[in-house]
Amino acid sequence: MAHGIFNQLRDFQVSLQMAWHKLTKIAKPTREHFPEIIAEPIYYNGGTPLVYGDKSFVVPIALDDKLPVAPPYCEGTYSLFTPHEAWDWVHEVLEGTHFEVQSIGMLWNRSFWFISTELTELKALKIGDGRDSKFQFNFSGGLDRKVSPQCELSNIVAVCHNTISLSRTSGEVLFHERATKNFHTRLEMAKAEVEKLVAWPQYSRPQWIA
């Protein structure tokens, strides 16, 4: 199985429980476990900013080690959506509900992030074969423009690349958008609808719920 913890000096998965890959950092996941990531301008050797026509180019950098997390991109066509922004959005959406962030991580040399949150109010619901449901609200996305940000309701606790990939393909997708220049506007517009879906199961009854 591919866990995606490609570079153990940079990649990580944080949870209170050890995952199958035995690389978990045992701790309560917090926002501070994610490095701050910013878009740094790219300069020519002479110090002139890299501009092609009317387009400027930047590279996403993690401030803890000052290294890139993805290739350069054009600011006019792509919106950088960082794990810190995702963490804040998840907490805004779930405000007023009982939830617990169970597992977070950054994979593939920090080019991909995920947040796996248990909706504790929905634990009493059963999946189709009668087992208790984990009922996760999972959010993930890439920083290298290969994987669009997405959140879904799932029965899978994300701890690695395989598990979050399975969640993305089998869960009930609540939000999925390419991170183009209008991404943050669309994400803000989707907030109220996602809040409604995660707070009240009668609005959304995924296929595994009896």
Element housing 189 (H / E): helix 183-199
The pLDDT of residue 122: 64
pLDDT band at 210 (very low <50, low <70, confident <90, very high): very low
The pLDDT of residue 54: 82
Q: Give the relative orientation of helices 183-199 and 83-93 as an angle to the nearest 10 degrees.
A: 40
Quickly list DSSP for 12-23.
Answer: EEEESS--TTS-
The pLDDT of residue 204: 47
Q: Provide the residue ranges of all domains of the chain, joining segments of one domain with +.
A: 12-25+79-202, 37-74
Query: Residue 126: CB partners within 8 Å, gap ≥ 6?
Result: 132, 133, 209, 210
- State mean pLDDT over 133-146: 89
Q: Residues 159-191, buried b or exposed e (16+ Cβ, 10 A)?
A: bbbbbbbebbeebeebbebebeeebeeebeebe
In 14-171, which ranges are continuous DSSP H helix? 83-93, 161-170
pLDDT band at 5 (very low <50, low <70, confident <90, very high): very high
10-32 pLDDT tens trace: 999 999 999 999 999 999 999 99
The pLDDT of residue 178: 92
Q: Residues 125-137, buried b or exposed e (16+ Cβ, 10 A)?
A: bebeeeeebbbbb
Q: What percent of the chain has pLDDT over 90?
A: 65
The pLDDT of residue 209: 46
Can you give the pTM of this predicted structure?
A: 0.88
The pLDDT of residue 126: 53
- Contact, 14 vs 25, CB < 8 A? yes
Q: What percent of the chain has pLDDT over 70?
A: 88
